[in-house]
Amino acid sequence: MKVILVTGRTVKQGFWKEYGKFSKAYMESVSVCYMDARDMERLGIKDGTNVQVSTKHGSTILKALKSTRGKHSGIIFVPYGPWINGVVDPETDSVGMPSFKGTQAEVEPAPEKPVLSLEELLKKQFRKLNR
Amino acid sequence: MRTVKHVTCPVCGCLCDDLELTIKDEKVVKVKNGCALCKAKFLGYSKHRVLKPLVRKNGRFFEVSYEEAVSRAAEILTEANYPLLYGWSMTSCEAVSAGIELAEEIGGVIDTTSTLCHGPSTLGIQDVGISSATLGQVRHRADLIVYWGSNPLIAHPRHMERYTIFRKGRFQKEKRKLIVVDVRKTETAETADIFLQIKPNMDYEVLQALRALIRDQELDVDEVAGIPTERLEEIADTMVECRFGALFFGSGLTMTRGKNRNIDAVLSLVSDLNKLTKFIAMPMRGHFNVTGADMILTWQTGYPYAVDFSLGYPRYNPGETSAVDILLREESDAALVVASDPVASLPRKAAEHLAENPLIVVDPHMSATARMADVVLPSTFVGIESGGTAYRMDHVPLPLKKIVEPPEGILSDEEILRIILSEVKRKKAEQMENP
Amino acid sequence: MKMELIIRNGFVFDPINGVKGEKMDIAVRDGKIVERVNERKALEIDASGMLVMPGGVDIHCHIAGSEVNAGRLLRPEDHFKYSERKTATTRSGSGHSVPSTFTTGYRYSRMGYTTIMNPAMPPLMAKHTHKELNDTPMVDKGSFPLLGDWWFVLEHLSNGRIEECARYVAWLMTSTKGYAVKIVNPGGVEAWGFGHNVHSLDEQVPNFNITPREIIRGLCKVNKLLNLPHTIHVHTNNLGKPGNYTTTLETMKCVEDLAADDKPVIHITHCQFSAFKGSDWKTLRSGAEEIARYVNNHSHVTLDMGQVVFTDTTTMTADAPFQYTLHELTGSKWTNQDVETETSVGIVPFRYRRKSYVHAMQWSIGLELALLIKDPWKIFLTTDHPNAGPFTAYPRIISWLMSRRAREATMKKINRRAQSKSLLPSITRELDFYEIAVMTRAGQAKALGLKDKGHLGVGADADIAVYKINPEELDPSRDYKIVRKAFRRAAYTVKGGEIVARNGEILKHVKGATLWLKVKTSQQTKVNEDLKRRFRDYWTVEYENYPVSENSLDISHPINVEAKI
Ligand code: SF4
Ligand SMILES: [Zn+2]
Mean pLDDT score of chain C, rounded to an integer?
96
Separation of alpha carbons C435 and C292, rounded Å: 17
Distance B392 CA to ligand 1 centre (A): 11
Do B256 and B276 have their domain in common?
yes
Helix (H) or strand (E) holding C213, with range, is helix C212-226
Distance CA B137, CA C337 (A): 10
Least Cα distance to B118 among B297, B300, B263, B7 occurs for B263
Same domain membership, residue B336 and residue B257:
no
Q: Which uninterrupted H or E stretch holds A124?
A: helix A118-125
Give the distance from residue B403's alpha carbon to the nearest chain A alpha carbon, in angstroms. 18
- Write down the domain spans for chain A: 2-129
Angstrom distance (rounded) from CA C531 to CA C155: 13
* Bridge partner residues of C494 (DSSP): C464, C499
Band (pLDDT 50/70/90 cuts) for residue C102 is: very high
Chains with ≥3 Cβ pairs under 8 A against A? B
Q: Which of A11, A14, A97 faces B254 most closely, judged by CB atoms?
A: A97
Of B283, B305, B330, which closes a domain? B283
Closest C-alpha among B194, B283, B280 to residue B244: B280
What single DSSP character describes residue B382?
B
Q: Where are the beta strands (DSSP E) in C231-358?
A: 232-235, 266-268, 276-277, 285-286, 301-304, 312-317, 335-339, 343-351
Residues 6+ positions from B1 with CB-CB distance below 8 Å: B22, B23, B24, B29
Cα–Cα distances in angstroms (integers) from residue C463 to residues C54, C442, C449, in the given order: 6, 12, 16
- Please, what's the b/e burial string for C127-143 (b: 16 or more CB within 10 A of its CB; e: otherwise)? bbbbbbbbbbbbbbbbb
Given phi > 0 = left and psi -120 to 50 = alpha, else beta, which region is C331?
left
Residues B81 and B154 in one domain: no
Given ligand 1 and candidates B89, B158, B289, which is best to mutate, with the most ligand atoms within 8 Å of its CB?
A: B158
Q: Is the CB of B37 under 6 A from ligand 1?
A: yes
- Interior angle at CA B179, CA B177 and CA B181, nearest 5: 175
Q: Does the CB atom of residue B180 touch ligand 1 within 6 A?
A: no
Specify the pairing of strand B244-249 against strand B144-148: parallel
B198 within some domain: yes
C4-54+452-506: CATH superfamily: Urease, subunit C, domain 1 (2.30.40.10)
The predicted structure's pLDDT at residue C109? 98
Question: What is the average pLDDT across C366-384?
Answer: 98
User: What angle do helix axes C212-226 and C162-176 make, rounded to 10 degrees?
Assistant: 70
Atom 2 of ligand 1, residue of closest alpha carbon: B12
Q: Which atom of ligand 1 is nearest to the CA of B158?
A: 1
Residue of B nearest to C80 (CA): B315
Lowest mean pLDDT among A77-86, B205-214, C433-442: A77-86
Look up the CATH number of the domain holding residue B206.
3.40.228.10
Question: Which of A63-77, B25-39, B138-152, C134-148 is least confident?
Answer: A63-77
The boundaries of the domain holding residue B265 are 119-283
Asked whether residue B348 is assigned to any structural domain, the reply reads yes
The ligand that comes nearest to the alpha carbon of residue B9 is 1
Alpha-carbon span C345 to C337, nearest angstrom: 5
Q: Total structural domains in chain B?
A: 2
Q: How far is CA B149 from CA B138, B211, B255, B322, C163, in A?
A: 19, 18, 10, 24, 49
Least CA distance to C349: which residue of chain B? B129
Please tell me which of the candidates A23, A90, A128 has its beta carbon nearest to residue B372.
A128
> Coil, helix or strand for C116?
strand
Ligand 1 within 6 A of B14 CB? yes
Q: Which of these, B381, B375, B330, lies nearest to B356 by C-alpha position?
A: B330
Contact criterion met (CB below 8 Å) for C176 and C548: yes
Whole-number pLDDT of residue B434: 79
Q: For residue C477, how many other CB atoms are within 10 A of its CB?
A: 15
Neighbours of C (≥3 Cβ pairs closer than 8 A)?
B
Beta carbon of B157 within 6 Å of any ligand 1 atom: yes
User: Please, which residues 101-130 of chain A have a Cβ atom closer than 8 Å to chain B?
Assistant: 101-102, 118-119, 122, 125-129
The residues, any chain, with a CB within 8 Å of residue B253's CB and separated by 6 or more, are B148, B149, B150, B203, B262, B263, B266
Q: What is the pLDDT of residues C50-66, one digit of tens each?
A: 999 999 999 999 999 99
Chunk chain B into consecutive blocks of 10 residues (it has 435) and report each block's average pLDDT, rounded to whole numbers: 96 97 94 95 87 94 97 97 96 98 98 90 95 97 96 95 93 95 93 94 94 92 93 96 97 86 95 97 95 97 98 96 95 96 91 95 93 96 97 98 95 98 95 80
Among all residues of chain B, which has the CA nearest to that of A127?
B356
| Ligand 1 pocket residue status of B33, Cβ below 6 Å | no
Smallest CA-to-CA distance from C437 within C428, C429, C446 is with C446
The answer to the question of residue B389 being in a domain is: yes
Indicate if ligand 1 lies below 6 Å from the C-beta of B158: yes
pLDDT at A15 (0 to 100): 67
3-state secondary structure (DSSP) of residue B96: helix
Nearest residue by C-alpha to atom 6 in ligand 1: B35
Q: Ligand 2 centre and the CA of C387: distance in Å?
A: 7
Confidence band of A11 (pLDDT split at 50, 70, 90): low
Residues 6 or more apart in contact with residue B106 via CB below 8 angstroms: B77, B78, B80, B83, B309, B424
Does the residue B7 lie in any domain? Answer: no
Residues belonging to chain A? 131
Q: Which of B20, B21, B38 to mutate to test the pocket of ligand 1 (most atoms within 8 A of CB)?
A: B38
User: What is the Cα–Cα distance from C456 to B164, expressed in whole angstroms?
Assistant: 56
Residues of A in contact with B188 (CB under 8 A): none
- Asked whether residue B35 is assigned to any structural domain, the reply reads no
Report residue C295's pLDDT band, with 50, 70 and 90 as the boundaries: very high
Smallest Cα distance from C257 to chain B, Å: 36
pLDDT value at position A20?
67
* B162 SS3 class: helix
Tell me if B178 sits within 8 A of B192, measured CB to CB.
yes
Closest alpha carbon to B238 in B214, B269, B221: B214
| Residue-range domain boundaries for chain C | 4-54+452-506
Judge: A122–B343 Cβ closer than 8 Å, yes or no: yes
Shared domain for B294 and B234, answered yes or no, is: no
| Burial class, C413, CB count within 10 angstroms (exposed 0-12 / middle 13-18 / buried 19+) | exposed
When CB atoms are compared, the residue of A21, A92, A127 closest to B365 is A21
Q: Which residues contact C177 (CB under 8 A, 6 or more apart)?
A: C126, C130, C143, C514, C516, C548, C550, C553, C556
- Suggest the residue from B371, B372, B375 to mutate for an interface test with chain A (most A CBs closer than 10 A): B371
Q: Are residues B148 and B260 in the same domain?
A: yes
Q: Does C195 touch chain B (CB under 8 A)?
A: yes
Nearest to B136 among C75, C327, C341 (CB): C341
Packing angle of the helix pair B413-433, B66-79 (nearest 10 deg): 60
Rounded CA gap, C515 and C454, in Å? 15
Least Cα distance to C168 among C129, C208, C219, C126 occurs for C219
C-beta neighbour count of C395 within 10 angstroms: 18
Q: Report the pLDDT value the prediction gives residue A14, as an integer from 0 to 100.
A: 66
Tell me phi and psi for residue C459, to 5 degrees.
100, -15
Chosen domain end from B283, B316, B334:
B283
- The C-alpha R_g of chain C, in whole angstroms, comes to 22
Spell out which residues have Cβ within 5 A of ligand 2, the ion: C 384
For residue B406, give Cα distances in angstroms to A16, B50, B380, B386, B412: 22, 12, 6, 8, 9
CA C52 to mean position of chain CA atoms: 23
Instruction: Say if residue C223's pLDDT is above 70.
Output: yes
CA-to-CA dists, residue C168 to B14, B110, B403, C148, C516, angstroms:
28, 43, 31, 13, 16
Whether C410 shows a pLDDT value over 80: the answer reads yes
B255 and B199 belong to one structural domain: yes
3-state DSSP percent of chain A in helix, strand and coil, to 5: 30, 30, 40
CA B398 to chain CA centroid, Å, is: 16
Q: How far is the CA of B374 from the centre of ligand 2 (A)?
A: 51
Give the residue from B248, B283, B318 where a domain finishes.
B283
Going from the C-alpha of A86 to that of each of A54, A64, A121, B253, B352, the distances in angstroms are 9, 18, 10, 22, 10
Residue C268 has a pLDDT of 98
- CATH number given to A2-129: 2.40.40.20
Q: Render B286-333 in DSSP notation, one character per residue.
A: -BTTHHHHHHHHHHHHS-SS-EE-TTSS-EE-TTTSSHHHHHHTT--S
pLDDT in tens, C514-556: 999 999 998 888 888 999 999 999 999 999 999 999 999 999 9
Q: How many CB pairs under 8 A join B and C?
A: 181
Confidence band, pLDDT 50/70/90 cuts, at residue A98: confident
Note the pLDDT of residue C436. 98
Per the domain annotation, does B100 fall within a domain? Answer: yes
Please tell me the distance between residue C1's alpha carbon and the centre of ligand 2 in angstroms.
Answer: 40
pLDDT at C18 over 70: yes
What are the CA-CA distances from residue C249 to residues C254, C290, C295, C374 (Å)? 9, 8, 9, 17
pLDDT tens digits along C458-481? 999 999 999 999 999 999 999 999
Which parts of C38-105 are beta strand (E)? Answer: 43-46, 51-54, 56-58, 83-84, 93-94
Ligand 1: residue of B6, B156, B164, B284 to mutate (most ligand atoms within 8 A of CB) is B156
pLDDT, residue A130, reads: 79
Q: Which among C528, C518, C383, C512 has a CA at the least distance from the CA of C102?
A: C512
C-beta atoms of B397 and C333 within 8 A: no
CB B10 within 8 A of CB B45: no
User: In whole angstroms, what is the distance from residue B90 CA to residue B96 CA?
Assistant: 10
CA dihedral A45, A47, A51, A56 (to 10 degrees): 100
Q: Of the given ranges (A39-43, C26-30, C127-131, C242-246), which has the lowest mean pLDDT?
A: A39-43
User: Do B163 and B266 reside in the same domain of the chain?
Assistant: yes
Same domain membership, residue B160 and residue B78: no
